[in-house]
Amino acid sequence: MGLLELISRPLLSWSISATVLGTEHLHGGRQIRYVLESDRWSHVQLLLDQARRAGVHLKPEQILFSRSNGQRVLQQHLGELCQHCLQDPQYKVELIPVSIFHGRLPIRETSWLNLLYAEAWDQGGRIGRLMQLLVNGRQTLIQIDPPLKLQDLARSAPNATALTRRASLLLLQHFQTRRRAVVGPDLSHRRTLMSMILQHPSVEQAIATRAREKRENLHAARRYARRELHKIAANFSPVTARLLHPLLNATWRRLYDDVEILGLDRLRERALDHQLVYLPCHRSHMDYLLMSWALYRHGLMLPHVAAGDNLDMPIIGPILKRGGAIFMRRSFQSDPLYRTLYQQYLASMARHGHALEYFIEGGRSRTGRLLPARTGLLNMTLEAWCANPERPVALVPIWIGYDRVVEAHSYQRELGGDSRDRHLGPLDSLKTAWQVLRQRFGRVSLSIGEPIALAEVVDPHRPIRPQANAIGQQLLERMNRAAALTETGVIATVMLGQPQLQLEANSLATQCGQLLQLAQALPNAPASVPPEPPDNWITRAKTRRQLEQTHNQVQLQPAQAREMTFYRNNMMHLFVLPGLCLLLVRRSTNPLPQLITRMLRVLYPYLQAELFLPWPEQNFSAIAAKLRQILLDQGLLTRDGKQLRASDGDTALCLMRNAEPVLLRYYLLCRLLQRYRALNQDVLIEKALQLAANLQREFGFDSPEYADQRVLNGFVEQLLDRGILQRSDRRIQARVSLDALMKQARSILTQRLLSFVDQQLND
């Protein structure tokens, strides 16, 4: 060992801390070769070190290089191996590509200093590589990928030269694709990018149209366009992103017991050949940060994130822009120039291969329910892809669930009538952040759903808007399919199913355990469940002040009960069908299995529209039969001859009590339409909200979701899209007969409730 190497080894050990992905592919053997992207001495030592840790004896001569001194040398290394493969069919060589990144973020061409230490496409000279290790060695990613088997390629190769060329080309393409997936594309100069967008023909046309309609000169219209584009465009800074990563690590340790990330493996392969568009559900401002943190931590390109311009405030706004935020107005349909600017900016990001992220619901859900899709940005994404369908794009639905959201108190104030648009200054924001950091918020689950490849679902020759609506519905369904069961969601389901909002602790733990078992057996079972037993859930919820416990008695105070509805609603898509099935059996005079299935079929279109359940209507009978068998297996249903009987146990009653208000909401809307025949949508929503408020006061359905107009508006819009309702002369009316639904509702809801609603309508 030379003196230089003797000095370098401890320096390398001190300067590098690596995250290693794909260790399952790390193994030894005489016919194993590892291929590095370049012949950097430090990368060879890192690979040898990882092999030693895995107990693999790896010789330096088993390591090959794609490039050396800037030249492609892989064919020289592979020539002899390929010759052996063709001569001896038993000579089975595996080539395992290993990619190593330091800092792993896009390089900005505007900053010469970044060239010294940011991971980029240009490997740089010796000084640059040394600086890269010293500055970014603590943020190193080692990606070990599945092997390329030479013997498989040899079957179709006519000679050793052709085999060598093909294997070399495949490995070179692999390294290029992996680098783009991890590092991202080179970032253009921001001003150059903005100039290109402003010179785009569609933008020029929109500027001319604005000048004509506003009766202003072209110079003023261009100045307006430049100012608005400056507000929109991200100002991504790798330095900012790298500084934020350890800060977020510390923040999550302070706020959360654990951050669970599910399904990332399915993204790594997609990221190699698709532009990824991330579409998380939106329940908290933490969603932005968690997504970027999780992707960075696991070696995926950071996305540019579409964010509301309400976040473009002093101090916070510039930081978010440097982290990749693309600010947008809440609505811009009345400003065609702004829409064109935003569309062209997103299209430019797509052309350059940047990952994107936006929230398909539009805004944060204050009630915990998924909101109907807002398809404005989705339309732009589809239009950009249709203009260039050769570039693969995949939409990635993501479910995010919290044991407690940091905005819990503000959501309840907003649903109680407080204004949500209060502007917070920098000092107010810092004060709020300090208050948040003094609390604990339990576990977070971030679960990746099954991606949707646009090439498989979009027809470029058909109108975009109807396709976007269908894809939006499908994305929300896949989000729910990816849901993780949260301990607070289960506790909330049990406690809100108690008439007095109180229960003995051991009974609460038992019912939580039974709901856990039920959820895991369902056809739409959650992606994961809490790792600890329900007794521990109760202790942690008490610590978070989400419930009160005196000796063995657990109870919810009114404010706690209102907050808990948020977490119950997170789980409603899991438990609503079991609850309604039990309720139908309990209230029906002749609970035969076939009759219960028919009754559920009547309700299912409404449930699917509101809760984004995944099964097509034509397949629902089979799902209903499967659900019925699960309830029988769990002891929540029993057979009495040909008839079914619902259990009198606490868990069955809890499920029924949580399902009944859902059915009541449908009854209110349909009863209003039956009473008035046709109503303006705003009037319909206002009357439904008033009826719900009266019901809350009379019967204690104290759920803030009844006060959220977006829930009812979204439900009405879904029924319009499905053809159950129709809009005529700006008035809403039933398109199909509501008699079957009303008959089912009257047979299930109590006479006391029905009489009260009729009395309110008559008054």
The pair phi, psi for residue 63, each rounded to 5°, is -105, 120
d(CA 724, CA 721): 8
d(CA 546, CA 556): 8
513 pLDDT more than 60? yes
Buried b (16+ CB within 10 A) or exposed e, 191-219: eebbeebbebeebeebbeebbeeeeeeee
> Which residues lie below 8 Å from residue 394, measured CB to CB, with a gap of 6+?
270, 274, 275, 276, 277, 451, 452, 453, 454
Q: Give the C-alpha distances (Å, rounded to integers) separating 203 from 219, 327, 340, 369, 493.
A: 14, 18, 6, 38, 51
pLDDT at 116 over 50: no
- pLDDT value for 272: 81
Contact between residue 410 and residue 491 where contact means Cβ atoms under 8 Å apart: no
Q: Is the CA virtual torsion 252, 181, 288, 453 positive or negative?
A: negative
183, 101 contact by CB (below 8 A): yes
| Percent with pLDDT over 70 in the chain | 90
Three-class HEC string of 92-116: CCEEEEEEEEECCCCCECCCCCHHH
Buried b (16+ CB within 10 A) or exposed e, 713-743: bbbbbbbbbbebbeeeeeebebeeebeebbe
Once rounded to an integer, what is the mean pLDDT over residues 571-588? Answer: 94
**pLDDT reported for residue 418:** 63
Question: 714 pLDDT band (50/70/90 cuts)?
Answer: confident
pLDDT over 90 (residue 356): yes
Q: Which of 100, 97, 106 is nearest to 141 (CA)?
A: 100
The answer to which of 302-306, 357-361, 691-695 has the lowest mean pLDDT is 691-695
CB-based burial, 125-151: b 16+ in 10 Å, e otherwise: eeebbbbbbbbbbbbbbbbbbebbebb
Task: Give the confidence band of 702 by pLDDT, cuts at 50, 70, 90.
Answer: low
* Mean pLDDT, residues 716-728 taken together: 84
Q: What is the pLDDT of residue 256?
A: 95
The partner residues of 443 in beta bridges, in order of sequence, read 258
**pLDDT of amino acid 39:** 85
Q: Please tell me the total number of residues recorded for the chain in this structure.
A: 763
Give the mean pLDDT of 440-467: 94
Q: What are the DSSP calls for 220-253, one per residue?
A: HHHHHHHHHHHHHS----HHHHHHHHHHHHHHHH
Summarised one tens digit per residue, pLDDT across range 178-222 is 887 777 665 556 777 888 899 999 999 999 999 999 888 999 999
Sheet holding 725-728, edge to edge: 678-680, 731-734, 725-728
> Is the pLDDT higher at 346 or at 115?
346
Instruction: Give the residue carrying structure tokens 């260039």.
Output: 388
Q: Are 163 and 153 in contact (CB under 8 A)?
A: yes
Closest listed residue to residue 37, CA positions, set 131, 108, 102, 114: 102
Q: Is the pLDDT of residue 115 over 60?
A: no
User: What are the counts of helices (DSSP H) followed by strands (DSSP E) for the chain?
Assistant: 32, 23
Q: How high is the mean pLDDT of the chain? A: 86
Which phi and psi (to 5°) does residue 71 adopt? -105, 145
Give CA separation, 669 vs 251, 592, 593, 672, 688, in Å: 44, 29, 28, 5, 6
In whole angstroms, what is the distance from residue 290 CA to residue 298 CA? 12
pLDDT tier, 717 (very low <50, low <70, confident <90, very high otherwise): confident
pTM of the complete model:
0.81
555 burial level (CB within 10 Å; 0-12, 13-18, 19+): middle
pLDDT digits (tens, 9 = 90+) for 526-576: 999 999 999 999 999 999 999 999 989 999 998 899 899 999 999 999 999
Query: Pseudo-torsion of CA 204, 209, 210, 215, nearest 10°?
Result: 130
> Cβ of 284: how many Cβ atoms within 10 Å?
21
Inform me whether the pLDDT recorded for 514 exceeds 90: yes
Strand, helix or coil for residue 482:
coil
Name the pLDDT band for 112 (thresholds 50, 70, 90).
very low
Write down the pLDDT at residue 187.
Answer: 58
pLDDT digits (tens, 9 = 90+) for 36-93: 988 888 888 889 989 988 888 888 889 999 887 767 778 887 888 888 888 887 888 8
Q: For residues 300 and 264, what is the distance between their CA atoms, to the nearest angstrom? A: 9
pLDDT at residue 486, as a whole number: 97
Q: How many CA atoms, within 13 angstroms, populate the side-chain half-sphere of residue 670?
A: 23
Residue with more model confidence, 179 or 358: 358
The answer to whether the beta carbons of residues 679 and 671 sit under 8 Å apart is no
Please, is 118 exposed, middle or buried when counting C-beta atoms within 10 Å of its C-beta (0-12, 13-18, 19+)?
buried
Token pair in block for residue 5: 């190497």
Which one is predicted more confidently, 121 or 518?
Answer: 518
CA angle 418, 368, 307 (to 5 degrees): 75
For residues 554 and 507, is the Cβ–Cβ distance under 8 A? no
Quote the tokens at residue 548.
């009160």
pLDDT of res. 1 = 45
Segment 135-163 mean pLDDT: 84
Angle between helices 650-676 and 572-587 (to 10 degrees): 90
* Range with lowest mean pLDDT among 118-122, 140-144, 308-312, 556-560: 118-122
Mean pLDDT of 639-668: 91
Percent of the chain scored above 90 by pLDDT? 44
Choose among 502, 495, 19, 533: nearest CA to 300: 19
Using an 8 Å Cβ cutoff, are 284 and 364 in contact? yes
> Region 689-703: what's the mean pLDDT?
74
Model confidence at 399, pLDDT cuts 50, 70, 90, reads very high
612: left (phi over 0), alpha (psi -120 to 50) or beta: left
Structure tokens that stand for 666 in this block: 């449908």
Helices 650-676 & 739-748 angle (0-180, nearest 10): 140
- In this prediction, residue 315 carries a pLDDT of 72
> How does DSSP assign 619-669, residue by residue?
GHHHHHHHHHHHHHHTTSEEEETTEEEE--SHHHHHHHHHHHHHHHHHHHH
pLDDT in the model for residue 573: 95
Residue 110 pLDDT level (bands cut at 50, 70, 90) = very low
Whether the predicted pLDDT of 703 surpasses 70: no
CB-based contact 558:606 (threshold 8 Å): no
Domain architecture of the chain: domains with CATH: 3-183 (no CATH), 190-481 (3.40.1130.10), 489-570 (1.10.10), 582-763 (no CATH)
Q: pLDDT: is 251 or 110 the higher one?
A: 251
